[in-house]
Amino acid sequence: MKRSIGFLISCALLASMPAVAQVAPDRSGRLTVGGYGEVALTRNFFSDNVYRYSHPADYKEDPSHGRFDVPHAVIYLGYDFGKGWTMQTEIEFEHTGTGTAVEKEFTEAGEWETEIEKGGEVEMEQFWIQKSFAPQFNVRLGHLVVPVGGLNHTHEPLNYFTVYRPEGEFTILPSTWHDTGISLWGRAGAWRYEALVIAGLDAFMFDRDHFVKNGAGSPYEFKVANKLGFAARIDNQSVKDLRVSLSGYYGQSMHNSYPNDMWNTRYADIKGHTLIGAFDFAYTGKNLTVRGNADFGSVSDASTISTVKRNLTSNNAPYKKTPVGRAAWAAGIEAGYNLLHLCPGLRDREQKLYLFGRYEYYDSYIPDADQPDYPYTDRHRIAVGINWLPLPQIAVKAEYSHRFLQSQYNQEPSISLGIAYMGFFTR
């Protein structure tokens, strides 16, 4: 018996030795470090009162207000293990992250209290492992960016001229949309495709002012996946300097919340089918850049979903109480021209100075016939300004923007200044 035990232990030790050798660093491996970030300084020449849309006349003469922010600061970490295996992570700090502290409150009998020191978010936007079989076929599994819409496809700050992300898509779609699932993608000639299966959106997180934007998030330590979502994107670059793209999403959003206890009620047949279709393009010539997008989304059973989440979820549940419309849409176009091209002595330098303009229209709430209307969600916006790139990886941005609402509301002009970077520190 003792000999058998000793023999088994020896076999186990010998079996473990190759495993140790396998985790030694692979000389063919390559670490990639990069990221992007942006700082924004804004003065808004309109009221910031929460009732400025319900009682606009009362806030017409309110003073302007300023906001300084670090919207995004992101760190990329990637590694090539060799033999077609790679991994990628993206850690994002939004609005400089979150902050809490434990304090002893002397004015309240010396009690210990947890204080919220600042708002913000820290998110793992990407964490996936990929196996590449060929340029035409790659498989990713993990936490992925969902490339539906132009902004989610190219969300880094040097891929748009405005100080903040383009407002229409940023309002109605998750941004940056990231979720856990599996992706198949590949390239063939001038074409690139990607198809994803991910956790579905949550209808109880939809709302009037942001449509389905918050439906991809989760207030829990896990993402509810009672229902699956399906997304796809296809890009074509047959024309020099031009990319045109189509993308979309489909999934059932009702009964995708926690706890899953509404499946056996009278609302069991309410599906909340969510459909999103998007077109975007980018022309990046030597001195002229033009980008545009058009997005449309619809939610079935919107009126019933709005009633359920307003009346049948508890007041402290982490769900949105405002109604969701049956549809939403956004369209925008921007163009910028490099003025330094007109200066012969500066043509060959790396720096560029773009004069740009952007126009967009969006509406986050198109109601069903039996739903109330909120006309302030119907908006036009223009922005004009400059982007100075002293180096290809850095942009200094300045803009004037004006948000036009319907005539019964106050208009919303603002000025903004920003600086952004985007690049890799190792390759």
**Could you read off the pLDDT of 134-191 as tens digits, one per residue?**
999 999 999 999 999 999 999 999 999 999 999 999 999 999 999 999 999 999 999 9
Answer whether residue 21 shows pLDDT above 90.
Answer: no
Using a pLDDT cut of 70, give the percent of the chain over it.
88
Contact between 14 and 7 under an 8 Å Cβ cutoff? The reply is no
Provide the whole-model pTM: 0.88
- What does the DSSP assignment read for 322-342? S---SEEEEEEEEEEEEGGGG
Instruction: Name the band, by pLDDT with cuts 50, 70 and 90, for residue 316.
Output: confident
Where is 296: in which H helix or E strand?
strand 288-299
Residue 350 tokens, joined: 């790396």
| Distance, CA of 94 to chain centre | 11
Largest CA distance in the chain: 92
312 vs 131 pLDDT, higher one: 131
pLDDT digits (tens, 9 = 90+) for 33-67: 999 999 999 999 999 999 999 999 999 999 999 99
- 20-29's contacts with Cβ under 8 Å and 24+ in sequence apart are 26/81, 26/82, 28/80, 28/82, 29/79, 29/80, 29/81, 29/82
pLDDT digits (tens, 9 = 90+) for 377-405: 999 999 999 999 999 999 999 999 999 99
**Helix/strand/coil for 253:** coil
Residue 13 tokens, joined: 């030790």
Give all domains of the chain, ordered by start, each with its CATH number: 118-392+399-410 (2.40.160)
Query: HSE (CB half, 13 Å, CA atoms) of 279?
Result: 5
Using a pLDDT cut of 90, give the percent of the chain over it.
74
The set of residues, in sequence order, having a beta carbon less than 8 Å from that of 1 and lying 6+ positions away, is none
Answer whether residue 81 shows pLDDT above 70.
Answer: yes
Query: pLDDT at position 2, please?
Result: 42
319 vs 410 pLDDT, higher one: 410
Please tell me the distance from the alpha carbon of residue 40 to that of residue 420, in angstroms, as a whole number. 9
Please tell me the distance from the alpha carbon of residue 127 to that of residue 86, in angstroms, as a whole number. 11
pLDDT digits (tens, 9 = 90+) for 211-225: 999 999 888 888 999
Please tell me the distance from the alpha carbon of residue 202 to that of residue 223, in angstroms, as a whole number. 10
Asked if the peptide bond before residue 259 counts as cis, ω within 30 degrees of 0, the response is yes
**Helix/strand/coil for 275:** strand
Residue 346's closest CA among 384, 385, 388? 388
Q: How many CB atoms lie within 10 A of CB 228?
A: 14
Instruction: Name the band, by pLDDT with cuts 50, 70 and 90, for residue 80.
Output: very high
Instruction: Name the band, by pLDDT with cuts 50, 70 and 90, for residue 109.
Output: low
60 vs 120 pLDDT, higher one: 60
Instruction: Name the band, by pLDDT with cuts 50, 70 and 90, for residue 263.
Output: low
Query: pLDDT at position 171, please?
Result: 97
The set of residues, in sequence order, having a beta carbon less than 8 Å from that of 193 and lying 6+ positions away, is 185, 186, 232, 233, 234, 235
Please tell me the distance from the alpha carbon of residue 48 to that of residue 279, in angstroms, as a whole number. 33
Most confident of 5-9, 100-104, 307-311: 307-311
Instruction: Name the band, by pLDDT with cuts 50, 70 and 90, for residue 264.
Output: low
Residue 178's closest CA among 202, 150, 142, 228? 142
Where is 302: in which H helix or E strand?
helix 302-311
Segment 235-242 mean pLDDT: 98
